[in-house]
Amino acid sequence: MSRLSLPRARSGSAALVSAVAALALALTGCSSDEGSASADGKITLTVGTFGTFGYKEAGLYDAYMKQNPGITIKENPTTVEGNYWTALQTRLSGGGLDDVQALEVARISLATSEDLADAFVDLSDAPGVDKKDYLPWKWDQATTADGRTIGLGTDVGPMAICYRQDLFKAAGLPSDPESVGKLWAGDWAKFVEVGKQYQAKAPKGTAFMDSASGLFNAVVSSSPVQYYKDGKLAYKDSASVRTAWDLAVKAVQGKTSQGLKMFDTPWQTAFSKSTFATTVCPSWQQANVQQFSGPGNKGKWNIAQPPAAGNWGGSFLAVPASGKHVDEAKKLVAWLTAPEQQAKVFQKVGNIPANQAAYDLPGVVGYKNAYIGPDAATGLIFSTAAKSIKPAETGPRAGDLTGAFSTGVLLMEQNGKTPEEAWNATVRQIDSTIQ
Amino acid sequence: MASTTAPSRNGSAERPDTQPPPARPTGPSAWRSRLHRWDTKGTPYALVAPFFLVFAAFGLFPLLYTGWLSFHRVSLYNVDRAEWVGLRNYEDLFTGQVSHYFWNALLNTFTLGVLSTVPQLLIALGLAHLLNYRLRARGFLRTALLAPYATSVAAATLVFALIFSPEGGMANWVLGLFGAGPLHWEAGRWSSQFAISVIVTWRWTGYNALIFLAAMQAVPRELYEAAALDGANRWQQFLHVTIPALRPTILFTVIVSTIGATQLFGEPYLFGGQSGHQGGTDHQYETLGILMYDQGFHSSMLGRASAVAWTMFGLLLLIGLVNALLTRRLRASQ
Amino acid sequence: MTTTTPVPHSRHRTAGRPSARAGRAGGQHRAGPLAHIVLGLAALASLFPLYWTLVAASTDSHAVVSSPPPMLPGGNLFKNLTYVWHNAGGRGMGVALLNSTLVAGAVTVSTVTFSVLAGFAFAKLRFRGMKVLLGLVLSTLAVPAQLSVVPLFILTKNLGLSNHLGALILPVLVTAFGVFFMRQFLSQALPTELLEAARVDGANSLRVIWHVVFPIARPAMAVLGMLTFVQSWNDFLWPIIVMNGSTNPTVQVALAGLGTGWSTDWSVITAGALMGTLPLLLVFALFGRHVVGGITQGAVKG
């Protein structure tokens, strides 16, 4: 029992060696290989996005890979921008970024600030990029104090209202875009009033709007002064924030909102269940309307002019400086944001280009959306609105503020808080996160 | 190594291969005995070294580093720049801007802890008692009860989030069968905490039941026989024999569950979807773990997150102290 | 390693109580129908959510949220699984499964190995400072990793390990629980005479460990390995911090991405949950009995 024979000893040490080797292999072999060139010289570029950028849908990745056989593109999508940003800021600090990262307009001020600007490369010298092509204010938003442009505009968010023709009809309201637009022309307060009319004769189980936080955002977005003034955080004195808040309160109290958390899964489900009649439609929202409502609801949505014009959202593509293939990534970003490609994205999912040269291409202004309307003249509606956008001042915490106010409205809708409690909670939230 | 405990046997030269023949020169022998001494003295330390190295590098050092960070202002965007702020972070937590959320999170951690551990341990105890009978399909029942343990926090929470979803969730359908609801589970303070407790309880009850079962099986049969002779029925036997015999095990599971409850993170984080990072729109199920994550990795204030971590550390020390006192009293009473 | 290696009846010794064999206390009673019903209901409650995951994952975005909820599997299981396999977390669930296997595998091998070594030293060797060191091990049992994530994050960044699986492996190469678990087992299961005999044979420490300690520790290694693997596979907080949104995720990070707004469709989300759980359930189906035994062994020491 106690005698240990030699052969066993050898097999034993062999096993030990193999175990250690396996461990070493596991430790070293598991390095992330994304973005690195593989044995056959192919390069993989990863593109981190949120919401729907439409590149995959429009077949642009495939087209680019065909043109550049050495490149493979992988998209790393997140639906909700808030979650995307939380993950992104951690990786901006720690590392492990995608080769291309999308940035929402509410984050662009922070991304161009001295805290983060160095994490991204200058794209103004990317091959084929022409400053004149882009909407000037969009270009300026992504340019740092020392003149580096770290993001190229993909789309802007001119607003319209998407509404359900069938539900409007059932509630005894007009249903053609022109008459619908007239119902609330010029004033968001009228929009809330129409909501009350709708609710009085609403089909059972439906609400006029999806979310009062959507209304809040839309009202703020249609004002030239929002959360920042003269480089300072000024939301407490902002007239647009106050107006938007009061209207949201009215919408909640009039029970005209379904009280959903925008972009959350129940919100997405509600599209397919046809439980609300309107949603604020910045151009990028069309993709959501179509995707979440599903083929079964084709032709039921239509689009009308908003009470007041404004810009909600829109994005940029940026290239992190830490990437392994910065030059290839710059090339890809320049190509994706070029007029021809933006036009294709618009035709496929509805995001209106930030590249104004795209408006002159055939098939943009004249584009009609087969799902919405059907054949609503979305090209004309959104390109006209896009050109007239007067950008509001933004600031580093704009994204957090948008999030905090959406949550604040939700506190009334979902958690039964009084308007005053909800307002105080919102202020407390903002004060506690800005050090 | 074992030689120190039995020198006489080691010295007895019954095996020729351990004693070099006297004809050989002394060189290798001296080398060999030095090697042997090294082996005896050094090996124990070499064997425990990996643990302590790992602990020093990834346990102790980070713990102290957290303390240091908690007195600084550190932004997530620039982690290498720390600015000394003294007790500011702690002031923020206890009385300042974040105090509302801190005390709320502390209370939630407590209520969620109670909601998710007390029923869980009671149910586990009852199930273990039943499992201890002679049963049909014993193996199946045990494995079935343990199956949730193999499910990850993420998978379990996602599935339960669907069950408690306001749009077509099964929980509301069941409520509807009884003419109640629908409830917006996630939005309410108690309904959300109840739902989260259900997830925790579902995952851990079977595990704890098996732990209790093992302890029950170690209770000597004679105790039951003696109790039966005294006329105790099964319930009385359970109360007067099983429970006292299980006291150390119960204490153990209580401690483990309590530590687990103070660290609750994954369930509330994922249950809230978009607002999970702050434990719901109204912070209605924000725990201390969530608060730390939110302050550090959502609001990018790592110094403040460190202060939350150290406060939790203090709390755990407190729990440990209470536990030590309880154990001592338990021992004294025995 | 070989079947001839002596393994004492460690299973019975590990309970840590000489009277363990007297157990089955209540076992003398046959359970009545009520006990069977209650246990059956408990088993149902345990298994139903798993079954329902399968049902939900086999429906589509509309059916999964219909009322009454579907109770029988639909025909979309393969479609949803394929979708998740290719798309979750950017590079698909396949990468996540591979990453989790690598991480959990490496952590398990290393934890078990180092735990046996340290456990052996604490159980059977005498050395200066042993009591203090053992006390230290015990006290670290209660220090949760959660308290250290901020500096670990900074450390990881400075080591250049962000987004690297090494960041998930290094901090848990060996745990206090493992060391303590092995110490408890070996002090019961490893006869001192065996060590002495090996020593008399002229075996040095390395050989003793390899030929005596490891073979005897084998049943406990299996149990500790299983527990470690499950725990590592299911680890959440630290991975979500270093790997959040990464294209190189573990299963849990990929699932978190699914749940916090990656997908639009509950049937796809549940398909992801199913895929992330299946490997462990399979391990359970194969070795469930060992785990059950292991948990009961590990626990009684408390």
Does one domain contain both A248 and A149?
no
The partner residue sitting opposite C157, judged by closest CB among A87, A94, A263, is A94
**Average pLDDT per consecutive 10 residues, chain B (334 residues; last block may be shorter):** 36 40 56 76 90 90 94 92 93 93 96 94 94 86 88 92 87 90 88 96 92 86 88 87 87 83 91 88 94 94 95 88 82 71
**A373 Cβ neighbours under 8 A, 6+ residues apart:** A177, A299, A301, A302, A303
Of A404, A396, A390, nearest to A432 by C-alpha is A404
Out of A131-140, B110-119, C130-139, which region has the weakest mean confidence (pLDDT)? Answer: C130-139
**Average pLDDT of span A330-342:** 95
Surface-to-core class of residue C16, CB atoms within 10 Å of its CB (0-12 exposed, 13-18 middle, 19+ buried) = middle
Residue B23 inside a domain? The answer is: no
Reported as a pLDDT band with limits 50, 70 and 90, residue C1 is very low
CB B97 within 8 A of CB A431: yes
pLDDT above 90 for A330: yes
What mean pLDDT do residues A130-142 have?
Answer: 93
Domain boundaries, chain C: 99-242+277-300
User: Could you tell me if residue A352 is inside a domain?
Assistant: yes
User: Nearest-CA residue of chain C relative to B318?
Assistant: C142
Q: Report CA Rg, chain A.
A: 25
Per-residue confidence (pLDDT) for residue A18, from 0 to 100: 42
Q: Is B52 within a domain?
A: no
State what percent of residues in chain A have pLDDT above 70. 91
User: B279 and B286 in contact (C-beta within 8 Å)?
Assistant: yes
Give the pLDDT confidence of A25-73 residue by residue, as tens digits.
444 444 444 444 455 678 999 999 998 899 999 999 999 999 999 999 9
Distance from chain centroid for Cα B76: 28
With CA atoms as reference, the chain B residue closest to C71 would be B170
What is the domain extent for residue B256?
92-333
What's the rounded Cα separation, in Å, for the pair C280 and B206?
A: 16
Closest alpha carbon to A426 in A435, A411, A418 = A411
CA distances in angstroms from B320 to B45, B312, B323, C141, C301, listed in the order given = 29, 12, 5, 11, 18
pLDDT in the model for residue C293: 66
Cis omega (within 30 of 0) for bond into A136: no
Q: Which residue of C has its CA nearest to B177?
A: C68
Q: With a cut of 90, say whether residue A413 has pLDDT above it.
A: yes
Structural domain count, chain B: 1
Give C184's contacts (C-beta < 8 A, 6+ positions apart): C14, C16, C119, C123, C301
Shared domain for A290 and A396, answered yes or no, is yes
Kind of pairing between the strands at B78-84 and A311-318? unpaired
On whether residue B37 sits in a domain, the answer given is no
Nearest-Cα distance to chain B for C259, in Å, is 6
A100 vs C231: CA distance, rounded Å:
34
Chain-chain contact of B298 with A86 (C-beta, under 8 angstroms): yes
Assess if residue B298 is contained within a domain. yes
Judging contacts by C-beta atoms under 8 Å, the chain B residues touching residue C64 are 162, 168
In angstroms, the Cα distances linking A169 to A180, A185, B64 are 11, 19, 66
The predicted structure's pLDDT at residue C52: 94
Q: How do residues C79-98 score in pLDDT, each as one tens digit? A: 999 988 887 766 778 889 99
| C248 closest CB neighbour out of A16, A34, A90 | A34
Closest to A319 (Cα-Cα) out of A184, A140, A148? A148
The reply to whether A78 and A136 lie within a common domain is yes
What mean pLDDT comes out for the span A282-287? 92
**Chain A from 10 to 49: CB within 8 A of any B CB:** none
Write down the pLDDT at residue B331: 74
Whether B155 has its CB under 8 Å from any CB of chain C: the answer is: yes
How long a stretch of residues is chain A?
435
More confident residue, A181 or C283: A181
The domain that holds B242 is classified in CATH as 1.10.3720.10
pLDDT of residue C27: 46
- Tell me the per-residue pLDDT of A337-390, one tens digit each, with 9 for 90 and over: 999 999 999 999 889 999 999 998 888 888 999 999 888 989 998 988 888 888
Is A418 an interface residue toward B (CB < 8 Å)?
A: no
Classify residue B104: in a domain, yes or no.
yes
> Which residue has 């291409």 as its token pair?
A361
Residues 6 or more apart whose Cβ sits within 8 Å of residue B91: none
Domain shared by A384 and A321, yes or no: no
Contact: B165, C266; criterion CB under 8 Å: yes
Per-residue pLDDT, B15: 41
> Whose CA is closest to A346, among A158, A177, A136, A218?
A158
Distance (Å, rounded) from C-alpha A21 to C-alpha A9? Answer: 18
Instruction: Report A:74-113 residues touching C (Cβ under 8 A).
Output: 74-80, 82-84, 86-88, 90-91, 93-96, 98
A5, part of any domain = no
Task: Note the pTM of the prediction, 2 decimals.
Answer: 0.87
The verdict on B118 touching C (C-beta cutoff 8 Å) is no
CB contact under 8 A, C244 and A76: no
Percent of chain A with pLDDT over 90: 67
Q: Looking at beta carbons, which residues of chain A come within 8 Å of B79?
A: 93
Taking an 8 Å cut-off on Cβ atoms, the answer to whether A30 and C99 are in contact is yes
Name the H helices within A30-49: none
- Tell me the C-alpha distance between A5 and B247, whole Å: 47
How sure is the predictor about C280, in pLDDT bands with cuts at 50, 70 and 90?
Answer: confident
Residue with tokens 């097999």: A11
Instruction: Report the pLDDT value the prediction gives residue C57, as an integer from 0 to 100.
Output: 94
Range 232-261 of C in CB contact (< 8 A) with B: 233-234, 236-237, 240-241, 244, 251-252, 255-256, 258-261
Work out the angle at residue B75's Cα, subtended by the Cα atoms of residues B71 and B78, and round it to the nearest 5 degrees: 120
How many domains in chain A?
2
- Asked if residue A6 belongs to a domain, the reply is no
Taking only the tens place, the pLDDT of each residue in A85-115 is 998 998 888 888 899 999 999 999 999 998 8
pLDDT at B286: 96
Q: Which CATH superfamily is domain C99-242+277-300 in?
A: MetI-like (1.10.3720.10)
A46 SS3 class:
strand
Q: Does the structure show a pLDDT above 80 at C10?
A: no
| Residue A223: per-residue pLDDT | 92
Find the domain containing A212 and state its range.
Answer: 158-311+376-433
The two counts, helices (H) then strands (E), for chain B are: 15, 2
Partners of C265 on chain B (C-beta within 8 Å) are none
How far apart CA A435 and CA C220 sit, in angstroms, is: 51
3-state SS class at B72:
strand
- For residue B15, tell me if it sits in a domain: no
For residues C295 and C302, give the distance between their C-alpha atoms in angstroms, rounded to a whole number: 12
Interface test with B, best of C100, C132, C148 (most B CBs within 10 A): C148
Tokens 């929202």, residue located: A285
Quick one: which H or E segment has residue B309? Answer: helix B302-333
Q: A181 and A202 share a domain?
A: yes
How close C110 comes to chain A (CA, Å)? 7
- What is the C-alpha separation between B164 and B185, in angstroms, rounded? 6
As given in the structure block, the two tokens for residue A278 are 């309107």
Q: Using CA atoms, how far apart are residues C122 and C116, in angstroms rounded to an integer?
A: 10
Q: Give the pLDDT confidence of C93-129 residue by residue, as tens digits.
A: 888 999 999 999 999 999 999 999 999 999 999 889 9
Q: How confident is the model at residue A13 (pLDDT cuts 50, 70, 90)?
A: very low
Do B111 and B123 form a contact (C-beta atoms < 8 A)?
no
From CA C92, how far away is CA C275, in angstroms rounded?
11
Q: How far apart are CA A312 and CA A106, in angstroms?
A: 9
Which range is least confidently modeled, A25-29, A163-167, C73-77, C172-176? A25-29
For residues A346 and A207, state if they share a domain.
Answer: no
> Which residues, numbered 130 to 149 in chain B, qualify as contacts with chain C under a Cβ-Cβ cut-off of 8 Å?
130-136, 139-149
> What CATH number did the domain enclosing A264 receive?
3.40.190.10
Chain C neighbours among A 269-308 (CB < 8 Å)? 269, 272-273, 291-292, 294
What is the token pair recorded at A328?
A: 């290839």
Comparing CB atoms, the residue among C203, C248, C269 nearest residue A32 is C248
* pLDDT classification of A335: cutoffs 50, 70, 90: very high
Q: For chain C, where are the alpha helices, taking DSSP H only?
A: 10-13, 33-57, 77-87, 93-124, 130-140, 149-158, 166-169, 176-189, 192-200, 205-208, 214-234, 237-243, 251-257, 266-300
Tell me the three state secondary structure of residue A231: coil
**Residues A307 and A319 both lie in one domain:** no
The C-alpha of A3 sits at a distance from chain C's nearest C-alpha, in angstroms, of 7
Specify if B177 maps to a domain.
yes
Q: Which residues of B touch A415 (CB under 8 A)?
A: 187-188, 281-282, 284
Nearest to B101 among A90, A415, A432 (CB): A432
Residue A315 has phi, psi (to 5 degrees) of: -140, 180
Q: Where are the beta strands (DSSP E) in A147-226?
A: 152-164, 207-209
Show Cβ contacts of residue C32 under 8 Å, excluding neighbours closer than 6 positions.
none
The one-character DSSP state at C31 is P
B116 touches chain C (CB under 8 A): no
The arithmetic mean of pLDDT across residues A406-412, rounded, is 94
> How far is Cα A27 from Cα A33, in angstroms, rounded to an integer?
14
Question: Encoding tokens for residue C122?
Answer: 């604490």
Which of B78, B101, B281 lies nearest to residue A415, judging by beta carbons? B281
- Of B259, B323, B143, B330, the C-alpha closest to C296 is B143
Mean pLDDT along residues A193-203? 95
Question: CB B269 to CB C150 under 8 A?
Answer: no
Q: Would you give the DSSP letter of residue A246? A: H
State whether C15 and B15 contact (CB < 8 Å). no
Over range C21-48, report the average pLDDT.
77
How many C-alpha atoms does A153 have within 13 Å on its Cβ side?
31
Rounded Cα–Cα distance for residues A92 and C95 (Å): 22
Asked if residue B261 lies in contact with residue B199, where contact means CB atoms within 8 angstroms, the answer is no
A283 and A184 together in one domain: yes
| Cis geometry, peptide bond prior to residue B182 (ω within 30 degrees of 0) | yes
Burial class of residue B100 in the structure, from the number of CB atoms within 10 Å of its CB (0-12 exposed, 13-18 middle, 19+ buried): middle
B268: contact with C, CB 8 A cutoff: no
Answer whether the bond into residue A391 is a cis peptide, omega within 30°.
no
Contact B214 C234 (CB under 8 A): no
Chain C residues close to A79, C-beta within 8 Å? 261-264
- Which residues in chain A have their CB less than 8 angstroms from residue C110's CB? 23
Portion 146-175 of A in contact with C at CB < 8 A: none
Average pLDDT over residues A288-313: 92
* Model confidence pLDDT, tens digit, residues C222-257: 888 888 998 899 889 999 998 887 778 899 998 888
Read off the tokens for B45: 């330390």
Mean of the per-residue pLDDT values for chain A?
88
**A35 assigned to some structural domain:** no
Taking CB atoms and an 8 Å limit, are C142 and B146 in contact across chains? no
Task: Please tell me the predicted confidence (pLDDT) of residue B255.
Answer: 80
- Burial-class residue A236 by CB neighbours within 10 Å (0-12, 13-18, 19+): exposed
Which helix (DSSP H) or strand (DSSP E) does residue A9 occupy? helix A6-29
Inside any domain, residue A173: yes
Which residues in chain C are closer than 8 Å to A93, comparing Cβ atoms? 153, 157
d(CA B183, CA B11) in angstroms, rounded, equals 79
C162 touches A96 (CB < 8 A): yes
Contact A115 B73 (CB under 8 A): no
